[in-house]
Structure 1
């Protein structure tokens, strides 16, 4: 165990055969590794075990990249009670170095600990308030955009418009489209606060545009694997396979109807195959895809690769000739799969939509298809119905998706052009792979994260270190201080009736009284020690605290736990 505020160092030592033993010890310093930011290890931010969606997949890929980059050095973690879980996760990625952990809420970082913390999403307001209680200059926070269309996401962006965030915090926008949206929402929020509250001073956080990364090496498709995959899927040399990879959801990801219709047009005189690699949410959605394929593209052969089956998913990628993603959904703000396709050496055919516009160079790495959407005011009713809980989020984004139209003629024409020219496919695929390696490989993105962390360190230098209370989240001892008859003070006398040692042990096991025990906030050992000291004879609370090694909130609460259960008596001065 360790106390809140203490550093924790966890090292891995490999036994022959890959088994690992863990060594936990108090942090004793040492050389600081090249990593200059800590990772907030929280929830499903770095794993697809609980949910297979873009945010989790990108977080998993980032974690793997971090583990490889600093495999022999020091990695830095931040969070609440998750040090062991993070070290276990690092170990699974073959990390062989040392994890230096800081418990969130601690006021004393380990020596050499970085002054920047990364969060795998927009920075939660609570996280900034928690930091400010220590002092706004204690460290910087930086997060990253994912979907920006949900009410929660938009609220979190609006919160970034001012306090509790500081100029040395940052939100990484994964695309130019995301940055425009974020700046617009923040400007709207500030204008509203200025009009209704007269607010005029706002903290401007950093909003760099840094794309998401991919593991380019892992996306490589050796010729032998391509040949084996095409044979396994029954693809003839004369067939051209168009691949869509990702969540198979017509209302929440990309409606495939236009792709099916364009494929049917392009199939005249051509043998086209459409491979869909991903997961359906349920059987009804899967059936709707099959119905649409039969009706809209009877001349096209369709194959499905289960997204949860890594081998089948990989096989689909290796068998493909062209990657296609005609995204029409406002949930998409970057789009990782076209970058993965570029890294795979596939030409990409995408909609001219949000982040795709940054990543895919039209006519170079593939083609972008024009998209038409409603003008300003054309969908405010949809937003209001969702905001008022009249429509679900899925219905909201699905309705807007059906009002977003890719140019079918251009899409079909580009499909035919790519199907007819192996040379064009090879040339675009090579250009895309070179671009992915130069711009989107994780080492490149981590360099940019490192540079951002260095800039945030520079901005934070000399920052105000005065603590800032968290408004509307006060100390209950203060907020409800007028509720009790009296309040404990240092000059009160603490005494313990003799012969209650067994009663203490019983109460420490009784669920009704032991449910509050906690290694940090109310350790059983602390309660036993205070009781033992009180049994030695009456003394003031101040003297009792001094004998126990100092005061502190947990010890105060431990004394009152003992008093509540009749194990000590508290007497105010006469």
Structure 2
């Protein structure tokens, strides 16, 4: 521990999210667990949006990390307190679980209140939603510094972000000097092992019993959302199977497991088509964690043919490799970063469209999944190469074994969470070394809404600094302790007796607003300018102060 200058890691996100298990949620939770397991910082600050979220998350932290919580090294704040906390505490870095929503707004607060320009990093996930260009436009503003960084999880994701920023520059005429952009660095996601390796044989036996696979059958596993509208279309697997094997000549089984929407008839139709080409197929709907472990152990090879721009990484490929499975994957997006072709698996070439045409114009008018589906259906998988890959791996058990062993070692070496956390630590340290303008300009973001400018015509008039205020009878009762103010939940950071009592004391004699602000500014603990202005307006609203017109 550094008693003189503690290193504090901070975030706006809980990283542990309830609800259906998606890849992003898995990655976020495993990141936080890996970070706190390595424990490279003196303290960890979490700034959450609402009092309930903050209270609930304190309980989650105490349950999962009791020792760190007992040492008060895990602190949860409301985001409303950011101006005060940033003013008084130095943070080594802020890391956000998503690059879409909050990085520019956080940078604006940092530039305004923090004496130290700490790095802000945020992670890419899916990048293909039609409303995202407006979000990315918010990143291009004068307050962006060389310490602000978007972390792409793959080289393809990095290329997509660079292209997005360039498109915005071209369309809005934004030069780099006046409208700088965040750095873009690549740090992959990590993955925990899907099951303890020493339990593999036992899980394999149980899993193969569950799917009724014979010892001779090569079990091919596809794991993901079971829909062509999601991240992959599975029909090319059947077309390739027809090329690779005459009907009923191969000892094989296809298992498709994942999320199935209620009432969706696609899984049943796919199963029927698979049997028609001589490939037995089982659909496992919404497997729980135990069932997923058994399926990975039961399988002999893993197939994932991403064709949808939603996909930027490929967590299931890492899981499959850690389970010792060779991988047949499309040469698409982040997949090519994860599979060493010919060593840990086989990459199948893909061809995308030259022009997205009407899809660009329709974006925002029809559901985003339809746009993504249209683009995915124009991304062709090389079926002949896929047929060759299926034939090679289904026919050669030794090839499957050697590729699976190399794949497992590859992921353990390059994509373990301890390795990923070390990559982040190095990135945060590099970013802190970047030169920044001194002082960093506390300018508003171009897309930031100025409420007082926009709605200045709504009230009768504005409370100017020259207006005189004085204590009311109700204010006097509260000052003497004969009455109490009613302060709504959520306002305690702006209106507290620490500020209110001195304000009422100073207003015993008429004072103009500027004088009251100056006197309140000397109160300890020192409130921010915003807290002072808020408290004065609130006291006037609740008849603790009144306008004095002599």
State if a TM-score over 0.5 links the two structures: yes
- Inter-CA distance 452–30: structure 2 relative to 1 (3 Å threshold): same
1:90 pairs with 2:65: no
- Inter-CA distance 181–278: structure 2 relative to 1 (3 Å threshold): same
1:519 pairs with 2:492: yes
Residue 253 of structure 2 corresponds to 273
Indicate conservation of the 8 Å contact 1:80/1:103, yes or no. Answer: yes
1:557 pairs with 2:540: no
Indicate conservation of the 8 Å contact 1:120/1:144, yes or no. Answer: yes
Shift, 1:110, TM fit: 8.6
Residue 332 of structure 2 corresponds to 353
- Spell out the pairing of 1:204-219 with structure 2 (5 A cutoff): 204-216=181-193, 218=195
Q: CA-to-partner distance for each residue in 1:78-130, whole Å, 9 max, x for gaps?
A: 44455544443334444622214566432554987433211112153333333
Local SS of the residue matching 1:238: coil
Q: CA-to-partner distance for each residue in 1:347-385, whole Å, 9 max, x for gaps?
A: 00111111111110111101111222222x2x2112211
Indicate conservation of the 8 Å contact 2:150/2:185, yes or no. Answer: yes
- Inter-CA distance 201–112: structure 2 relative to 1 (3 Å threshold): closer
Residue 58 of structure 1 corresponds to 27
Indicate conservation of the 8 Å contact 1:526/1:558, yes or no. Answer: no
Deviates more, 1:109-118 or 1:355-364: 109-118
Local SS of the residue matching 1:106: helix
- Inter-CA distance 558–308: structure 2 relative to 1 (3 Å threshold): farther
Distance in 2 (alpha carbons) for counterparts of 1:163 and 1:236: 64
Unaligned stretches of 5+ in structure 2? none
- Inter-CA distance 416–385: structure 2 relative to 1 (3 Å threshold): same
Match of 1:185 among 164, 176, 180: 164
- Spell out the pairing of 1:292-331 with structure 2 (5 A cutoff): 292-298=270-276, 299-307=278-286, 309-331=288-310
- Inter-CA distance 92–306: structure 2 relative to 1 (3 Å threshold): farther
Match of 2:473 among 487, 492, 497: 497
Shift, 1:426, TM fit: 0.9
Local SS of the residue matching 1:459: coil
- Spell out the pairing of 1:29-68 with structure 2 (5 A cutoff): 30=3, 37-42=9-14, 45-47=15-17, 49-68=18-37
Shift, 1:198, TM fit: 7.0
Shift, 1:201, TM fit: 4.0
Q: CA-to-partner distance for each residue in 1:270-318, whole Å, 9 max, x for gaps?
A: 222222221112322xx21211221243333323334352222222112
Local SS of the residue matching 1:151: coil
1:454 pairs with 2:429: yes
Match of 1:538 among 504, 509, 515: 509
Deviates more, 1:55-64 or 1:487-496: 487-496
Shift, 1:211, TM fit: 1.2
Distance in 1 (alpha carbons) for counterparts of 2:284 and 2:224: 11
Shift, 1:428, TM fit: 0.4
- Inter-CA distance 84–296: structure 2 relative to 1 (3 Å threshold): same
- Inter-CA distance 427–193: structure 2 relative to 1 (3 Å threshold): same
Shift, 1:466, TM fit: 3.9
Distance in 1 (alpha carbons) for counterparts of 2:490 and 2:64: 34
Local SS of the residue matching 2:131: helix
Shift, 1:72, TM fit: 10
Local SS of the residue matching 1:222: helix
- Inter-CA distance 128–240: structure 2 relative to 1 (3 Å threshold): same
Residue 119 of structure 1 corresponds to 96
Indicate conservation of the 8 Å contact 2:499/2:523, yes or no. Answer: no
Q: How many residues align?
A: 528
Local SS of the residue matching 1:328: coil
- Inter-CA distance 556–351: structure 2 relative to 1 (3 Å threshold): closer
Distance in 2 (alpha carbons) for counterparts of 1:219 and 1:401: 36
Distance in 2 (alpha carbons) for counterparts of 1:461 and 1:118: 19
Distance in 1 (alpha carbons) for counterparts of 2:201 and 2:289: 19
Residue 232 of structure 1 corresponds to 210
Distance in 2 (alpha carbons) for counterparts of 1:361 and 1:199: 37
CA RMSD of aligned residues (A): 3.6
Distance in 1 (alpha carbons) for counterparts of 2:168 and 2:484: 52
1:416 pairs with 2:391: yes
Deviates more, 1:66-75 or 1:116-125: 66-75
- Inter-CA distance 128–136: structure 2 relative to 1 (3 Å threshold): farther
Indicate conservation of the 8 Å contact 1:143/1:172, yes or no. Answer: yes
1:401 pairs with 2:376: yes
Local SS of the residue matching 2:439: coil
Indicate conservation of the 8 Å contact 2:96/2:123, yes or no. Answer: yes
- Spell out the pairing of 1:116-195 with structure 2 (5 A cutoff): 116-122=93-99, 124=102, 125-134=104-113, 138-194=117-173
Match of 2:501 among 516, 529, 548: 529
TM-score (norm. length: structure 2): 0.84
Indicate conservation of the 8 Å contact 2:325/2:407, yes or no. Answer: yes
Match of 2:83 among 99, 103, 106: 106
Indicate conservation of the 8 Å contact 1:369/1:407, yes or no. Answer: yes
